[in-house]
Chain A
Amino acid sequence: DIQMTQSPSSLSASVGDRVTITCRASQSISSYLNWYQQKPGKAPKLLIYAASRLQSGVPSRFSGSGSGTDFTLTISSLQPEDFASYYCQQSYSTPPTFGQGTRLEIK
């Protein structure tokens, strides 16, 4: 199975900050990397797929980059509704695997 490792596990930031979360795969997954946002008590929501493609309806302050083994999710200017947990997921091979998550908290 492909292991996905996110960093940091938690992050404190302020409204308006630029934030970057990283995700590393244990082997090359080309661009088969997706990002999800999850708010407490809610289901995950797809934000970005294929490493850099924004899901319909997702604000443009979210962006993704990377290929191979190293990927990043960037939020250009944090908004109050962005404080949540974020997960990366590889869709390169079965079983699909997730990173352990990054909790983004208000400073």
Chain B
Amino acid sequence: EVQLAESGGALVQPGGSLRLSCAASGFTFSTYEMNWVRQAPGKGLEWVSYISSSGSVKYYADSVKGRFTISRDNAKNSLYLQMNSLRAEDTAVYYCAREVGALFQHWGQGTLATVSS
């Protein structure tokens, strides 16, 4: 069974940093492209970032470009999102999602990052 488990969400002050993790199991992680998608409280879904199976190709939403960095460790079956220079508008539940052909086939349960003073 495919399982994705996010962690690392917390309360952080504006300008601060946070590192989210996503532990994958139940499939061959190294062969799948992965994404981060977020959802602000009471709002819709917003794609954040993509990483290829090898980690060599990365894409970012304009709203996070230059502040967030996606990475993966295929030996540890893990996906990461390093978030710097955080803003109040980054407050959201962050989901990791396994991609197949640019659609999000499986999602984790999400982790909440709150940016507030």
Contact = CB atoms under 8 A, between A and B. Distances in A.
Contacts of A100: 44
B61 interface: yes
A98 B45 contact: yes
Majority SS at the chain B contact face: strand
B59 A36 contact: no
B61 A95 contact: yes
Given A32-B102, A43-B95, A91-B101, A96 B107 contact: no
Contact of A34 (B59, B103, B106, B109): B103
Contacts of B101: 49, 91
A98 B103 contact: no
A2 B104 CA distance: 17
B44 A99 contact: yes
B102 A44 contact: no
Contacts of B62: 95
Contacts of B106: 46
Interface residues of A, number: 23
Interface residues of B, number: 20
Interface in B96-117: 101-110
B59 A98 contact: no
A98 B101 CA distance: 16
Contacts of B61: 95
A87 interface: yes
A40 to B, nearest CB: 11
Contacts of B103: 34, 46, 49, 89, 91
A44 B59 contact: no
13 contacts: A36-B45, A36-B104, A43-B95, A43-B108, A44-B104, A44-B107, A49-B103, A87-B44, A89-B104, A91-B102, A94-B102, A95-B47, A98-B46
The 4 closest A-B pairs by CB, nearest first: A91-B102, A43-B107, A98-B45, A34-B103
Interface of B: 35, 44-47, 50, 59, 61-62, 95, 101-110
Interface of A: 32, 34, 36, 38, 42-46, 49, 55, 87, 89, 91-92, 94-101
